[in-house]
Amino acid sequence: MLRAVATKLTDPSRWPRFEKSLYDLIKGLRTHKGGEDEYVQSCLRECKAEIKSQDMDKKATALLKLIYLEMFGYDMSWASFHVLEVMSSSKYLQKRVGYLGAVQSFRPDTEVLMLATNMLKKDIVSPNIPALSLPLASLPHIITPSLAMSLLPDILSRLSHSSPVVRKKSIVCLYRLALVYPEALKLGWPKIQDRLMDDQEDSSVTTAAINVVCELGWRRPHDFLPLAPRFFELLVDSGNNWMAIKIIKLFATLTPLEPRLTRKLLRPLVNIIQTTSAMSLLYECINGIIQGGILDGEDNLQERDDVATLCVGKLRGMIVIDSDPNLKYVALLALNRIVTTHPTLVSMQQDVIMDCLDDPDISIRLQALELAAGMVTSETLQVVVERLLDQLRLATLSSPGNAPELEIGSSVHPETEDPEESKTSEVSTSTAVALPNDYRSEVVHRILDICSQNNYSEVVDFEWYVNILVQLIRLLPPSEGDEYWNQNSPSQDAAALSKSSTAFRIGSEIRNVAVRVRGVRLEATRAAESLLLVDNRSTFFPAGSNVGNDVLGPISWVAGEYANDLLSPSRTLQSLIDLSNVTLPARTLQLFLQAIPKVFVRVNQDAGLGMTWKTETSLLLARVVEFLEALAAHPDLDVQERAIEFLEVLRLSAEALHSDVQEMPSLLASVLPSLFMGLELNPVAFSAQKKVVLPATLHLDVAFNDDLQTLFHTLDNSQLEASQRGSLQDFYYIPDLISPPAKSFPGIASIEMHPDSSYQNVLRGPTESPGTMERRKLERKERYKDDPFYIASLDSHSGTSTPVFGNEANADVLDIDAIPIVDLKLDSGQPDRVERDVSNPRQGRYKKMEVAADETFGSEEIPSRDYLVPGQVGGSAVAKRSLLQVDSSGLGHLSMASNDGPGAISAEDEGDVEMKKAMRNVEQMRLRMQRASERIELDGIPTEGTLIKKKKGKKKRASSSTQEVTLGDGSSQPEEAKKKKRKEKKEKKEKTQKEPRTDPEELAGKPSGSLA
């Protein structure tokens, strides 16, 4: 059968050549299953030869083949000149191929575009309408500022062409011209306005004009206010739903500026809502009412509430009655917008929304989830969270019987219970068994969001919350994130990813609750303890997942900090120092290491009471020391340092214990505990550190020594007296290259020359006897006697050997306690500790819980938790430009109203001023964000400079290199952007090369089926 098709398709009268036609190419691709790439490469070689041919037919065919291959990712940028040649063909169909080639392959850096200006000018004024349409449809893809400038007059004249086809396309083309060349709009707007106001105009042209205005509308709403009456007329009279949708969208941006519009619009909108049968129009009306802020105002309370009720009622209908998932989705989308202004109205729809939480469609579930988070109150919180937990439990069990789905069909809307309905619900049950992992972690994130919002204001029962957190750990999806995305975004920082992982967040929540809510601290600590125990780990954390690693860190901190609340400190300590812990990731171990001595101190307090305290304690000490020794050579420096610090302290304690003491040595009894006593830790706001005012006496920018050159000079001549102080100065101030004098100081040299002094070697033998240790200690003391970086032990406190702290002259300057910045004085300043009393009448049955708020200075700011919630990564992400984004910001600066007298109203000028102010603010914001993200790059560049730079970069990207040539400033293109692009390309190259080509199955004669 297939052969028959093939012979029919190869129309010999049309392709009587030896070269392959496009049809031959496609056919060839299908016959070369497996070896497509080779085949394509040979085709590309042929095309390269054919496209140079003098025969225009041959050239166009070759180009057509190239365009086809480009669709699969084969580069055709090398052919751009030939594209121009084909574009200039006199035959329409060849010309069309040429224009298609330009649209598909020209990029802003395509240089030949400059040569096309005259040809484009000629085509735009062509008498043949299809030929004239080609440049109009293609220009938006290839336009550059310089091209726009030279083509503008021709396009403007097309706006009054006799054919509506040309007029509608010209309007849109002009809009795209204006995006790169804002002046175009200034000249073109009066003409577009004429089209818009003309009652006799073809409806297609009016619609196109409305579409363009809708695109422009949100950028400069003030300019379109004068046209509001005409829009209103079109909305009421036209009867064209496509246009009505756009007009409503446009009004949504206009109404916030003109309150009178609201009153006028309300009636027709309500009328449409009540009468229309087109769901898209109904939805957009509701959406327009929400987005236009019609529900937000204060006056006419009754009317507003009626409208809100009507909208919510209609949305409810979209969810309940129609089984169309699209309507469900958009209704939830709209409810999500209403919930901020009318939370009570929305929460009345709780029943249907909750059912959507169990919808088989993940998109709908996610919307419902967001909505649930928005409308939750302290009464509904537990119900919502329990429901979500059930969902997770089901997913974890992955049981085939999906109870919630069945509920939808049976209990909620029995009125739609017809055979078809039950059939679809059956289908959905079978498809919704497995929940994707990213959805499950999204649910966990949402649960945490819901509970922790406003500093836990909605949580009434914290014991319940701690319990939920522990349950969540069991329900976490086995692997974090979707593998597929991780492969594709190598730029994502691994550390940042783990920081935001759900497991880490749960651990942090347990810690937060323990710190903030004193009343539930005991329970939180006990929960942390039970999770920590080695015996429990296998049940809580499934093997092969990294869930445990992320949770254990924060909870070990809780166990350490609140060791007094532990049920069994000794068991906790055993779990903390279990040797299997050594393989945990460094960030977890760091927190473990801090917890170990704290719990040890706690265990010790108990031990002091018994008779066998001495053997018990020394045994315990030996085991802790053994664990610490295992970490003393850890590759992570932080872990290593902490391990060694505590190791040394504990070894000293062990020594103190070994001598014949009858009581607990003071080192163990008081010194060690005192390390961790003191003020209780309170939560500190994320931004508090930034608000600490630098003390007046601290000059960070003043040079220590203005006369550095002379200093170097004197040092080079070795004229400086070799005092201890001098040696220190040498070390800090003279870079390695020019510091030969350092060699003359034995103290510093010894660090380099005695490899024995590294941390690892100190701990070389865990089996060392106390005698050798003592000897080594003496040796060490001797060796470090003159080393300024070691503080000698107390007995050798003899002036000269401790240059930093021993020297009286330095003591004033270097006494760390005297440096004022250390003292934050959190308690003395403003009343910065805000304690919220969460109790109110309806919560009477629960214990009163105080939730400590973040401590901070001065005014309250919105606590930024972006660093924990991946979904809201605000700051840096906003600064980035989206991939497919068209930059229309240029239009924001343009005033179109300057030359049309009657339309301009006085409010407009105010609006312009406001707009400018807003724009300035936006610029500043952008600058700030940009600076944050490119701190290193911007070092030392003044603010104004960076702003301009950014603009240039943007423009460059949008424009073509033609501009580079004409303006001669091509070098200003940001190097970084180039590099990034190159890198991206490299990464994707491999991938795309594997991808392309046709479907082997189709060739194999499988009926491809009709579009149905």
Partner 1 sequence: MINAVLVFNNNGQPRLTKFYTTLDTQTQQSLIAQIYHLVSQRPSSACNFLPLPPLLSQGAASSTGPSDAPTQITYRTYATLSFIMISTSTESPLALIDLIQVFVEALDRMFENVCELDLIFGYETMHAVLSEMIVGGVVVETNIEKIVAGVRSQEGTSGKKKAVQAASASLGRGALPGLGAWR
When the beta carbons of 326 and 946 are compared against partner 1, the nearer one is 326
Give the type of residue at 680: E
When the beta carbons of 571 and 957 are compared against partner 1, the nearer one is 957
Give the residues across from 835 on adjacent strands: 852
When the beta carbons of 231 and 329 are compared against partner 1, the nearer one is 329
The verdict on 61 binding partner 1 (CB under 8 A) reads no
Applying CB under 8 A, among 55, 887, 969, 975 the residue interacting with partner 1 is 887
717: exposed, middle or buried (C-beta count within 10 Å: 0-12, 13-18, 19+)?
Answer: exposed
Applying CB under 8 A, among 28, 325, 343, 806 the residue interacting with partner 1 is 325
The verdict on 650 binding partner 1 (CB under 8 A) reads no
Encode burial over 549-575: b for 16+ CB neighbours within 10 A, e otherwise.
Answer: bbbbbbbbbbbbbbbebbeebbbbbbb
Number of residues this chain uses to bind partner 1 (CB under 8 A): 123
Alpha carbon distance 126, 365 (integer Å): 54
When the beta carbons of 361 and 855 are compared against partner 1, the nearer one is 361
Of 251, 247, 321, 233, nearest in space to 290 by CA? 251
Give the residues across from 476 on adjacent strands: none
Applying CB under 8 A, among 306, 860, 900, 984 the residue interacting with partner 1 is 984
Selected range binding partner 1 among 48-56, 188-196, 322-330, 803-811, rule: CB under 8 A: 322-330
Q: What single DSSP character describes residue 882?
A: P
**In the complex, least distance from residue 450 CB atom to partner 1, rounded to whole angstroms:** 18
**What are the backbone dihedrals phi and psi of residue 836, each rounded to the nearest 5 degrees, phi first?**
-100, 130
Selected range binding partner 1 among 470-478, 581-589, 605-613, 980-988, rule: CB under 8 A: 980-988
Selected range binding partner 1 among 274-282, 662-670, 706-714, 819-827, rule: CB under 8 A: 274-282
**In the complex, least distance from residue 562 CB atom to partner 1, rounded to whole angstroms:** 37
When the beta carbons of 72 and 232 are compared against partner 1, the nearer one is 72
The verdict on 249 binding partner 1 (CB under 8 A) reads yes
Output 961-965 pairs: Cβ under 8 A, ≥24 positions apart.
961/108, 961/109, 961/110, 961/111, 962/111, 962/113, 962/114, 962/144, 962/146, 962/147, 963/144, 963/145, 963/146, 965/111, 965/114
User: Is the CB of residue 360 less than 8 Å from the CB of residue 384?
Assistant: no
When the beta carbons of 338 and 621 are compared against partner 1, the nearer one is 338
Q: What residues from 487 to 506 belong to the interface with partner 1 (CB under 8 A)?
A: 488-489
Token pair recorded at residue 492? 């994502």
Alpha carbon distance 208, 299 (integer Å): 36
The verdict on 884 binding partner 1 (CB under 8 A) reads yes
Selected range binding partner 1 among 46-54, 294-302, 937-945, 990-998, rule: CB under 8 A: 990-998
The verdict on 92 binding partner 1 (CB under 8 A) reads yes
Helices (H), 684-805: 688-691, 708-716, 724-733, 746-753, 759-762, 770-783
Alpha carbon distance 337, 287 (integer Å): 8
User: Is the CB of residue 294 less than 8 Å from the CB of residue 262?
Assistant: yes
Q: What residues from 379 to 438 belong to the interface with partner 1 (CB under 8 A)?
A: 424, 427-428, 431, 436
Q: What residues from 757 to 796 belong to the interface with partner 1 (CB under 8 A)?
A: none
Applying CB under 8 A, among 11, 306, 483, 638 the residue interacting with partner 1 is 11
The verdict on 245 binding partner 1 (CB under 8 A) reads yes
Give the type of residue at 625: V
Q: Helix axis angle, 129-142 relative to 164-180, nearest 10°?
A: 20
Q: What residues from 93 to 122 belong to the interface with partner 1 (CB under 8 A)?
A: 93, 96-97, 100, 103-104, 106-108
DSSP 399-433: -S--HHHHHIIIII-GGG-SHHHHHHHHHHHHHTS
Applying CB under 8 A, among 877, 913, 932, 977 the residue interacting with partner 1 is 877
Selected range binding partner 1 among 45-53, 115-123, 617-625, 882-890, rule: CB under 8 A: 882-890
Q: Which residue has the tokens 């040797």?
A: 579
When the beta carbons of 4 and 679 are compared against partner 1, the nearer one is 4
When the beta carbons of 208 and 654 are compared against partner 1, the nearer one is 208
The verdict on 988 binding partner 1 (CB under 8 A) reads yes
Of 494, 567, 486, nearest in space to 525 by CA? 567
**In the complex, least distance from residue 972 CB atom to partner 1, rounded to whole angstroms:** 20
The verdict on 860 binding partner 1 (CB under 8 A) reads no
When the beta carbons of 129 and 834 are compared against partner 1, the nearer one is 129
Q: What residues from 180 to 239 belong to the interface with partner 1 (CB under 8 A)?
A: 204, 207-208, 211-212, 214-215, 217-218
Alpha carbon distance 279, 321 (integer Å): 13
The verdict on 34 binding partner 1 (CB under 8 A) reads no
**In the complex, least distance from residue 178 CB atom to partner 1, rounded to whole angstroms:** 11
The verdict on 70 binding partner 1 (CB under 8 A) reads yes
The verdict on 914 binding partner 1 (CB under 8 A) reads no
Applying CB under 8 A, among 149, 187, 279, 534 the residue interacting with partner 1 is 279
Selected range binding partner 1 among 19-27, 555-563, 602-610, 805-813, rule: CB under 8 A: 19-27
Please state, in angstroms and as integers, the Cα–Cα distance from residue 280 to each residue in 241, 312, 339, following that order: 8, 16, 21
Q: Which residue has the tokens 């000897």?
A: 775
The verdict on 981 binding partner 1 (CB under 8 A) reads yes
Applying CB under 8 A, among 344, 885, 906, 971 the residue interacting with partner 1 is 885
Of 822, 851, 854, 858, nearest in space to 837 by CA? 851
Applying CB under 8 A, among 85, 284, 458, 854 the residue interacting with partner 1 is 284
The verdict on 918 binding partner 1 (CB under 8 A) reads no
Q: What is the enclosing helix (H) or strand (E) of 408?
A: none
User: Is the CB of residue 89 less than 8 Å from the CB of residue 57?
Assistant: no
Q: What 3-state class would DSSP assign to 784?
A: coil
Selected range binding partner 1 among 243-251, 498-506, 691-699, 794-802, rule: CB under 8 A: 243-251
Q: What residues from 118 to 157 belong to the interface with partner 1 (CB under 8 A)?
A: 129-130, 133, 136-137, 139-141
Alpha carbon distance 304, 297 (integer Å): 8
**What are the backbone dihedrals phi and psi of residue 717, each rounded to the nearest 5 degrees, phi first?**
-85, 5
* Count of residues in the chain: 1012
The verdict on 362 binding partner 1 (CB under 8 A) reads yes
